[in-house]
Amino acid sequence: MAKPKLAVVKMTGCAGCQMEVLRIEDKLLDLVGAIDMAYFYMATSANRHGPYDVALVEGSVSTPRELRELKELRERSKLLIALGDCACTGCLPSIVNWVPPQESAKVYERFLEIHSKKESFQKVYPLSAHVRVDLELRGCPPHRDTILEALKGALLGIKPFLREHPVCVECKMKENVCLLVCEGRPCMGPVTAAGCGAACPSNGRVCEGCYGPMSDANASSLAEILAKRCGLSKEDLIGKFRKYAGLMPAFSKEAGGAI
């Protein structure tokens, strides 16, 4: 019986999510034994073009070439999984959607000569804006256990359990001191989906919201608390909600409005 074919493909992103796939480490060899690693430039030089049973796609779509490749990949893949925030929500690259070109030009001395500028849409959107996505694995990057759970689910034909409750639940289970209530620090945990194991608060850092909105997130209420209790300015609040998931409907108002 032929093994299911897996493709790991990168679009606009930092490649950190692909690194997290490799970080499965101790389970990776077992995984390789169960699947045919058909396309994964970080892991093999014997890459083959589809069709694939499962395609993990990292990154958002920012160029006509990526859009064409994504549509072709969708046609050649039984299951297409968005891997990480750039693929699911647009993440950091999507901040460009709110930045006027003249502001971007201040960063680069020869802005008009940048190759990516010339071929870019000048807008960045998640995969779901262009094609049907079967599963979204959020996080910057997604936790390795979440990736492994999704791949096992794909092999078994079952939907993996993805947490939709807030990071606060994971924080409480670890008996962390609440950084927002007790220390008045601007934590995004109350509106952010769990799955990271409260990694940042467990190390004394506020949640930055990299898993995107939880189910039924009350972003306007948290924004009011962050302004009153933590002293964040309107500009600070926009940055907070825009950083990882400003394109998501649950955060778009606080992120400066739809674009």
How does the average pLDDT of the chain come out, rounded?
91
Q: What is the pLDDT of residue 227?
A: 97
- Mean pLDDT within 74-87: 97
Which tokens hold the place of 233? 């300015």
Helices (H) and strands (E) in the chain, counts: 11, 5
Q: What is the pLDDT of residue 33?
A: 79
Angle, helices 234-245/219-230, rounded to nearest 10 degrees:
140
Q: How far is Cα of residue 176 from the mean position of the Cα atoms in its chain?
A: 25
Which tokens hold the place of 22? 């490799």
State pLDDT tens for residues 151-179. 989 988 898 888 889 999 999 999 999 99
State pLDDT tens for residues 202-247. 999 999 999 999 999 999 999 999 999 999 999 999 999 999 999 9
Burial 180-213 (b: 16+ CB within 10 A, else e): beeeebbbbbbbbbbbbebebbeeeebbbbbbbb
State pLDDT tens for residues 81-125. 999 999 999 999 999 888 887 777 777 777 666 666 556 777 899
